[in-house]
Amino acid sequence: MKILVLGQGAREHAIIKALIRTGTPAQDIIAAPGNAGISFDVRCETELKPNDPLEVAKFALQHEIDLAIIGPEAPLVAGVSDALREQGVAVFGPSKQAAQLEGSKSFAKEVMAAAGVPTGMARECETLQEVEDAMDDFGAPYVIKADGLAAGKGVIVTSDRAAALEHAAKFIDMGILVEEFLDGQEVSLFFLSDGKNVMPLTPAQDFKRAFDGDAGPNTGGMGAYSPLPWLPDNFVEEVERTVAIPTVQELDRLGAPFIGLLYCGLIVTERGIRVIEFNARFGDPETQVVLRRLISSLSTLLYKAATGHLETTAQPEFSKDAAITVVLASEGYPETSAPNRPIYGLTEAEQVEGVEICHAATKFEESRGGDEVLLATGGRVLSVVANGADFAEARKAAYAAIEKIQLQGSHYRSDIALKVVN
């Protein structure tokens, strides 16, 4: 089976490593555009523009692609899945219309209301006055969400009224959703969906704030771990029954079947499970730990979902290992961007037992001496992923590895999975 993976981040690198680990030959995979790290593992088509539906469809036909896996949200919202399906290519990734579940928070709220899915109370606002009124009604802490794609930076949760209003003013043109504050542990749970049936993967927790102790601004995600030993036994079954199935059925009823990955972002409150967001794709960095534990063939699972055959597919198997990932970020992330700087020590880091490195924003450049140097080119540079018999072992490996990596000004959180060590 020839597979095209669209995207260029650590999530795509993790998907590719998992495909290979679960039986897909590396030579059957093409990444587009990929990145420096991915190019060590598979062929990268660096010139292909992943957000261009016609270009991607043409490429897939020319290269006889059997399965296209779409990593990021941008190609989905641009309609790349639709263009591929029109050419008869099996695609793991929802249509433009179904991807609105992620692209529009108000659409997601409408689907949840129609499907009876538990979520926080929210109000759509078009003016700052409406935002202020909603803030008064819900009270502090304030949860202000931009109603569109904002690269993980569209949400602020704060008791500082001025900061909440400033955030709303920045995104008011997109529309704003003011939501009730939900208190509890966050869980990311992914479901494969073939448009009618769903299949759960395994829960993970993401660390959204920039600094230790959940301080600092929200980011795209600074680390993750899986499994979540503190969840009740029936948790996955309950989310499947109360969230994933009704959502997929409602989208099907609307004529927008969801074929791809349904990312359920949840908060476990005292009053029960609540959805805080849906995404239409694998989460980053949760994918790095979820797929690290996958034993079943990833290509088979995604192909069955893409072709409408989940009902007859066996549940995926996950190892009992603990997996953690720690994200290395550039100086100033997420608030300012740093210049491209060289990264050293990756080879040593990868030699730590149980460790794997997924690249996000890296590229090779020829130095003055003619050698190739690896440069960091963005905010989240790479994910160090480690597994072990328990979280103490996995943490030890991940942090031993990340300490070997040198990138001027870089930072990472030191408390990923710390609370589950005992």
- Residues in contact with ligand AMP by CB under 6 A are 120, 143, 145, 155, 157, 179, 181-182, 186, 208, 218, 265, 276-277
Q: How far is CA 114 from CA 97, 226, 246, 247, 287, in A?
A: 17, 32, 9, 9, 29
Q: How far is the CB of 126 from ligand GLY (least distance, A)?
A: 25
Minimum CB–partner distance for residue 353 and ligand GLY (Å): 27
In the list ligand GLY, ligand AMP, none, the entry touching 226 (Cβ below 5 to 8 angstroms by class) is none
Q: Which residues contact 31 (CB under 8 A, 6 or more apart)?
A: 4, 5, 6, 7, 8, 12, 16, 38, 39, 42, 43, 44, 45
Nearer to ligand GLY, 152 or 175 (CB): 152
Site for ligand GLY in 373-402 (CB under 6 A): none
| CA 330/CA 334 separation, integer angstroms | 9
CB of 329 to ligand GLY, least distance (A): 14
**Segment contacting ligand GLY by CB under 6 A, of 25-33, 276-284, 328-336, 382-390:** 276-284
Task: Select from 120, 195, 203, 283 the one that contacts ligand GLY (CB under 6 A).
Answer: 283
CA dist., res. 200 & res. 315, Å (int)? 8
Question: Is there binding between residue 12 and ligand GLY (CB under 6 A)?
Answer: no
Q: Which of 12, 82, 206, 321 binds ligand GLY (CB under 6 A)?
A: 206
Nearer to ligand AMP, 165 or 392 (CB): 165
**Pairwise CA distance, residues 296 & 264, whole Å:** 22
Give the whole-angstrom CA distance, residue 147 versus residue 168: 10
To ligand AMP, the closest distance from the beta carbon of 179 in angstroms equals 4
The entry of ligand AMP, ligand GLY, none that residue 279 binds, CB within 5 to 8 Å by partner kind: ligand GLY
* CB of residue 156 to ligand AMP, shortest distance in Å: 8
Contacts with 212 (C-beta within 8 Å, 6 or more apart), sequence order: 413, 414, 415
SS3 395: helix
3-state DSSP assignment of residue 76: helix
Q: Is 286 in the site for ligand GLY (CB under 6 A)?
A: yes
Select from 345, 308, 325 the least CA-distant residue to 412. Answer: 325
| Cα dihedral 234→240→242→247 (10° resolution) | 170
Q: Which does 218 bind (CB under 5 to 8 A by kind): ligand AMP, ligand GLY, none?
A: ligand AMP
C-alpha–C-alpha distance, residues 348 and 272, integer Å:
45
Q: What share of the chain is helix, strand, coil (3-state, %, to 5)?
A: 35, 30, 35
In the complex, minimum distance from the CB of residue 23 to ligand GLY, in angstroms, rounded to a whole number? 26
Helix (H) or strand (E) holding 187: strand 185-194
133 or 277: CB nearest ligand AMP: 277
Exactly one of 279, 299, 325, 383 binds ligand GLY (CB under 6 A); which one?
A: 279
Rule CB under 6 A: say whether 356 interacts with ligand GLY: no
- By the criterion CB under 6 A, which residues form the site for ligand GLY? 152, 206, 221, 279, 283-284, 286
